[in-house]
Structure 1
Amino acid sequence: MIIRDYLSLRKLEVLILKIKSIIRAVVISIVIGYMSIVCILYFSQDSMIFINQTLTNAEVKIINSQFENCEEVRITTTDNIKLHGWYVKNSELKKAPLIIYFGGNAEEVSNFIHYKDSLKGWDIVAINYRGYGLSEGKPSEKNIFKDAEYIYDSFAKRSDIDNNKIIVMGRSLGSGVAVHLAYERKLAGVILVTPYDSITKVAQEEISYIPVSLFIKNPFDSIKIAPKISTPMIALAAENDTFIPPKHAIKLVEKWGGSHEIKIVKNTEHNTIQNGEGYWESINEFLIRIVESLKSE
């Protein structure tokens, strides 16, 4: 009897050890799997944020032939990186008002030139980010922000630009660049299209099981500086945007330090908002109000 009980106890101990071993192996596998996901996200995040679209010289020639009053622009930054884009003469004034445009994370900005007729009376500057189009270098939040300031400074000092009437317009990723520029430079107005409060917050919503803020390298934290900006702003969000849901735009607008408004463009998505009813009308009404407010100063 005693021997039988002893053997049963030994079997139970062996079983418990096996169970502990299995649990330990499962826990280790989960930890390794989790850390692997974190490592993959950390080292691949740049390629997920910056989906650079390149151009060939032949494609640039085609673009140049499509548009009148469209001039190729090459700007060399302080760290000797050559940026490439376009300056569209869209105003008949000797000193023209100017819109500086910053595109989305997968956008080559020559596409924006197609909308120049929707912005009549305003010259347009659209320069590709580093690594996009024919621009050299590698994109990062720090580099793009510095380049935005340099682009502004380059055009603000031109004799054919009215530097009291410079507007910045940013779409998607570019909305964060526009917010930064509004914080660092004097602007007449800010136009934000499908903007976010921060890339960190948007990413955290998509990857809820990982603390994104601990490893993200390019947070684009627009909401942090929004209360310190007094420049008038309009935000346009797509009603059915699943990439950057409108609530992120609303949170940013609520924190804006200057006069602000938001338009939710009905029946549109992230990449179709420009086709929505009232989109261009809202932008042009904002531009008219900006010009009128400057007259009264």
Structure 2
Amino acid sequence: MTSTPPLLRMLVLAAVAYGCYALLLYLGQRTIMYPGRGIKVAPAPPKSSPELSVARLDTATGKVETWFLPAKGIPAGARSPALLFFHGNGEVIDFLPGQVEGVRRLGLHVMLVEYPGYGRSEGAPSEESITAAAVAGYDALSSRPDVDPARIIAFGRSVGGGPACALSRYRPLAALVLQSTFTSARPFARRFLLPGFMVRDVFDNLAAVRRFPGPILLAHGRQDDIIPFSHGLELSKAGREVKFIEFNCSHNDCPPDPDAFWRMAGEWLKQRKIL
């Protein structure tokens, strides 16, 4: 009776070990991709007021929370442009009101959309459920009497570029603004020594940018240590009408001066008669 050669035995053991490793990562990848679902927030959202309106929207995976913050300096009864804000994977909307003051000063309403499984939103995060939340947010925003539905902009930061781009496939947008986002999630599989086809939530932003008929504003840090600058550069070459702003920063400190960035964004929107 012949024994298995040592080299073959080692190869078989290595293949089995890699298979187990790959299976564990495949099953647990959403824990890695959506760390913000573990952030603790207050059990109840802030009370609605003239400065902040809280709503819970129905989706197929449960109710998701949205916060509407009105534009500043807009005459009563006017219909104004609005921005849907999609945050990064390590944030919740409770962190964001102070960060969008520059947007509101431009004369834009802002809607913050919480992801399923984050904060007080029901369900669990996935490409499908987050896209559904984005669509629900858009529909609620566009139906408001103080919002001009022809001038709705989607903004996505980091992972938030995924729902912003996905929304462009299902609803008309006046513009896309993408900050420090990726071409798709597949390239990141290489960091874990896995093939791209094992990524469950792909968020193919590159394909969405190629299809998008409107203007796109892109911003990316040259020293981005989480989503490489090459992703932003590739996205900038894929769109039909793209303005690409390069910043001397990494990922979590981009843009270095948020107020200055929003002033640049405001000028860009004015040039396109969206603002």
Q: One fold, TM greater than 0.5?
A: yes
Which residue number corresponds to residue 111 of structure 1? Answer: 95
- The aligned runs of 1:1-297 (5 Å cut-off) are 21-51=5-35, 52=37, 53-57=39-43, 60-61=45-46, 69-77=51-59, 79=60, 81-91=62-72, 92-93=74-75, 94-119=78-103, 120=105, 121-204=107-190, 206-207=191-192, 209-213=193-197, 215-256=198-239, 258-266=240-248, 268-276=249-257, 278-290=260-272, 292=273, 294=274
CA contact (8 A) 1:98 1:124 kept: yes
- Structure 1: how far apart are the matches of 2:96 and 2:214? 24
CA contact (8 A) 2:89 2:158 kept: yes
5+ unaligned residues in a row in structure 2: which ranges? none
Q: Which moved more, 1:226-235 or 1:275-284?
A: 275-284
SS at match of 1:76: strand
User: How many residues matched?
Assistant: 267
Residue 223 of structure 1 and its aligned partner are, at CA, apart by 1.2
- Structure 1: how far apart are the matches of 2:127 and 2:61? 18
CA contact (8 A) 1:110 1:126 kept: no
Q: Which has the higher contact order (CA 8 A, sep 6+)?
A: 2
Residue 193 of structure 1 and its aligned partner are, at CA, apart by 0.7
- CA RMSD between the two structures: 2.3
SS at match of 2:118: coil
5+ unaligned residues in a row in structure 1: which ranges? 1-16
**Can you list the C-alpha shifts for 1:160-212, whole angstroms capped at 9, x where unaligned?**
111121111001111011111122211111100101110102333x23x4212
- Structure 2: how far apart are the matches of 1:289 and 1:143? 35
CA contact (8 A) 1:265 1:279 kept: no
CA contact (8 A) 1:145 1:181 kept: yes
**Can you list the C-alpha shifts for 1:229-276, whole angstroms capped at 9, x where unaligned?**
1110001101211110110111122111x311111111x221110334
SS at match of 1:57: coil
Residue 54 of structure 1 and its aligned partner are, at CA, apart by 4.0
Residue 80 of structure 1 and its aligned partner are, at CA, apart by 6.5
CA contact (8 A) 2:220 2:232 kept: yes
- What letter corresponds to residue 147 of structure 1 in structure 2? A
CA contact (8 A) 2:151 2:174 kept: yes
SS at match of 2:203: coil
